Amino acid sequence: MLVNQRTVARSGSISGIGLHAGNECKLTFVPAPVGYGFKFVRTDIDGAPEIPALIDHVVDINRGTTLGRGDVMVHTVEHVLSAMAGLQLDNVRVELTAEEPPVLDGSALPYVKLLQKLGFEDQGEPKRFLEIDKTIIHHDEEKQVDLVIVPSDQFRVTYMIDYQNPALGTQYTSLYDLEKEFAREFAAARTFSFLSELEELHKAGLIRGGRIESALVIIDRELTQEGLDDLCRRLKVPGDIKVSKSGILGEKLVRFPNEPARHKVVDLIGDLALLGMPIKGHVLAARAGHAAHIMLVKKLHKELQKKRLQQRYQVGTTDRYVFDADAIQRILPHRYPFLFVDRILELVPGEWVTGIKNVSVGEPFFEGHFPCQPIMPGVLVVEAMGQVGGVLLLNTEANPDDKLVYFTGFDKVKFRKPVRPGDQLFIRVEMFYYKRGICKMKGRAFVGDQLAAEAEMQAVVVDR
């Protein structure tokens, strides 16, 4: 696996028809500086607006991955992204003269060949990787989709598809070495579609640029020659088209015995590029597609955000917690005797956080509350929940060091169990609303497995 960032050595172009829009498009790969990443640039629009190829800019995953920024969009970007990521490029400007890259032969291979022809330039700066250090899972019970990433010293993929169709059946494939295998064994695998899907897409006004040579069409219903001829007329397919013995429309040769499974790997690599950096991990996929890929990338993005926060605030690394007391004091403005969180155990930015407060007999409030029967004041238990929530909320902001959290309201506050010296409060806070610095969270504090207090909290983020 390469260790330095790289870009293309020179610019180069390729032209063709977009799959769904059906418009002619010229795509140009342009060298880009260190840290630029992948960006799509609409040169057909005044000002040549740029759209970073990042998960935050995914606006649609219907039959492909669409990126958008404001009113500007680029459709079906996964094959272009796969070619760049599969060749281990890091920084490329992709200029387009229309809203959708050319579909070409339905694979990533034409883009790979062009990039190889342009050559690569080592940029002398180290690559950044997301190293998977724990198992990450996406599971969809209804669709029987499973995506799992386990730790590995390099990027690997094992992919299984399982369609109830004799032309496909169950197919497996594995990629173990991106540098050695991607261009030779995977890039040429073409996109595929079932005939019924093709007809629905055509009715919806899509695949206007699709051609019989740019996809594998799998027959999934009874089709007479008369019906086939009618279909070809409606889809404007020229020539005498036959259904092959393998159940594929047309007599074309399948490039690999498991070409559909290999194309799923191509799509996965393209979608994973939306993380903004390569990963070191082994992806295990079953019956997945773009929607599941994007959900997995969102989970990886949360993990990446957490690691960046740890690098920013936590001195030393650990797999037992996220922030220790020193790191917490770098995030929150509170200090003794009004700091009521000792450690952050888990953090999913923008979603939820868990932390602990060790309740010592030496806490100053026990002197007066109450001398004969020390109990932690309920308002301070709520304050501890608020401080744990503050760690979550501040790390939702772009510049948390310049911000403060003010709580504006508490609802449904309930105290279930007294908190006494020697207890350890386990606090979980979940965010269920956030917009323009205004937040709503629900907090719960436990002693052991018993609920001690709960509350709904409203807060606002202000400049420090």
- 79 as an active site residue: the answer is no
Name the pLDDT band for 407 (thresholds 50, 70, 90): very high
Determine the average pLDDT of the residues in 16-45: 93
Within this chain, do residues 276 and 423 fall inside the same structural domain, yes or no? no
- Residue 167, pLDDT > 90, answer no
Q: Looking at 79, 138, 290, 301, which residue is catalytic?
A: 290
> Do 140 and 119 fall into the same domain?
no
For position 400, what pLDDT does the model report?
A: 75
Q: Are residues 287 and 383 in the same domain?
A: no
Going by pLDDT thresholds of 50, 70 and 90, the confidence category of residue 367 is: very high
The pLDDT assigned to 316 comes to 76
Whether residue 74 is found in the same domain as residue 153: no
Residues 141 and 87 in one domain: no
Question: If you average pLDDT over residues 149-170, what whole number do you get?
Answer: 87
* pLDDT confidence tier of residue 240, bands split at 50, 70 and 90: low
**Domain boundary at 89, 123, 157, which?**
123
Mean pLDDT for all residues in the chain? 89
Average pLDDT over residues 248-259: 75
Q: Which amino acid is at 178?
A: L
Encoding tokens for residue 58?
């995914």
Residue 437 lies inside a defined structural domain of this protein: yes
DSSP code for 400? G
Does some domain include residue 151?
yes
Q: For 259-280, how does the pLDDT look when each residue is reduced to its tens digit (9 = 90+)?
A: 999 999 999 999 999 999 999 9
Same domain, 184 and 324: no
Domain shared by 164 and 110, yes or no: no
Q: How confident is the model at residue 168 (pLDDT cuts 50, 70, 90)?
A: confident
Interatomic CA distance for residues 206 and 64, integer angstroms: 12
Q: Are strands 424-435 and 403-415 parallel, antiparallel or unpaired?
A: unpaired
Residue 336 has pLDDT above 90, yes or no: yes
293, pLDDT greater than 90:
yes
Instruction: Indicate whether 234 pLDDT > 60.
Output: no
d(CA 52, CA 56): 9
Encode burial over 131-162: b for 16+ CB neighbours within 10 A, e otherwise.
ebeeebebeeeeeebbbbbeeeeebbbbbbbe
Q: Name the least confident of 25-29, 237-241, 340-344.
A: 237-241
Question: Would 158 be classed as within a structural domain?
Answer: yes
Res 463: pLDDT? 86
Identify the pLDDT of residue 311: 82
* Residue 299 domain-assigned (yes or no): no
Residue 308, in any domain of the structure: no
Q: Which of 310, 392, 396 is nearest to 133 (CA)?
A: 310
In a domain, 302, yes or no: no
Give percent of the chain above pLDDT 90. 69
**What was the pLDDT predicted at 2?**
80
289 and 148 inside one domain: yes
- Secondary structure (H, E, C), 99-149: CCCECCCCCCHHHHHHHHHHCEEEEEEECCCEECCCCEEEEECCCCEEEEE
For residue 211, pLDDT over 70 is answered with: no
Residue 293 annotated to the active site = no
Tokens of 252: 């074309």
Q: Comparing 303 with 118, which gets the higher pLDDT?
A: 118
pLDDT above 70: residue 357 = yes
Provide the CATH number for the domain around residue 195.
Answer: 3.30.1700.10
Is residue 163 included in any domain, yes or no? yes
Distance (Å, whole) CA 80 – CA 57: 16
- Which CATH number covers residue 365? 3.10.129.10
pLDDT at 109: 97
Number of domains in the chain: 3
Whichever domain contains 20, its CATH number is: 3.30.230.20
What pLDDT, on a 0 to 100 scale, did the predictor assign at position 191? 85
Q: What is the mean pLDDT of residues 278-300?
A: 95
Q: Is residue 386 over pLDDT 80?
A: yes
Q: Do 274 and 150 share a structural domain?
A: yes
- In this structure, is residue 300 part of a structural domain? no
How many Cα atoms within 13 Å fall on the side-chain side of residue 9?
Answer: 9
Considering the domain architecture, whether residues 280 and 323 belong to the same structural domain is answered as: no
Are the C-beta atoms of 446 and 359 separated by less than 8 Å? Answer: no
Say yes or no: 105 and 159 in one domain: no
Same domain, 270 and 327: no
Mean pLDDT of 105-127: 96
Whether the per-residue pLDDT at 179 is higher than 60: the answer is: yes
DSSP summary character for residue 375: -
49: nearest Cα among 32, 29, 69: 69
pLDDT at 235: 56
Least confident of 55-64, 102-111, 124-133, 193-202: 193-202
Report the pLDDT value the prediction gives residue 421, as an integer from 0 to 100: 96
Domain that holds residue 193: 136-294
Ranges 141-150, 216-225, 248-257, 362-371: which has the least confidence: 216-225
